[in-house]
Structure 1
Amino acid sequence: MQLYDTASALGGTFSAEHGVGRFKRHLLERYGDIGRIAAMRRIKSAFDPADIMNTGAIVCPLGEKSAR
């Protein structure tokens, strides 16, 4: 985590152009922008209200607690 803390402190990010994926979801919740994550959840809920497409891959559905 020290590497991610340093990158964040310098204005960088924990993830490159390949995205977050399932293995770094907890890092998105820790280092990601709260507003962007909320927008991602709203968009996911709008297009997939039953959460049947790629369930839990990036963000938890609205109202669901994080798995970390």
Structure 2
Amino acid sequence: ALSGLPPKQYNSTIEPYVTVEIIKQSWTNRKRELLHSFRTRGIRHTTSPIYRETFVIADVSSYEAK
């Protein structure tokens, strides 16, 4: 859940969403590689949305995804 989002501005709507990125980072050369990216659906007309979504990540070990 999100809370404390700013209210909508005049003549606009609010439709918050969340982006989740799974990144593999190499500590030897500080390089980052984007493995997966997900975006929740937008929830209209609320500044305190609750997201009930599940994302499945395949082919990534728990060690790689920290």
* TM range, smaller chain: under 0.3
Bigger radius of gyration: 2
| TM-score of the pair, normalised by structure 1 | 0.25
TM-score of the pair, normalised by structure 2: 0.25
More helix by share: 1
Structure with greater contact order relative to length (CA < 8 Å, sep ≥ 6): 2
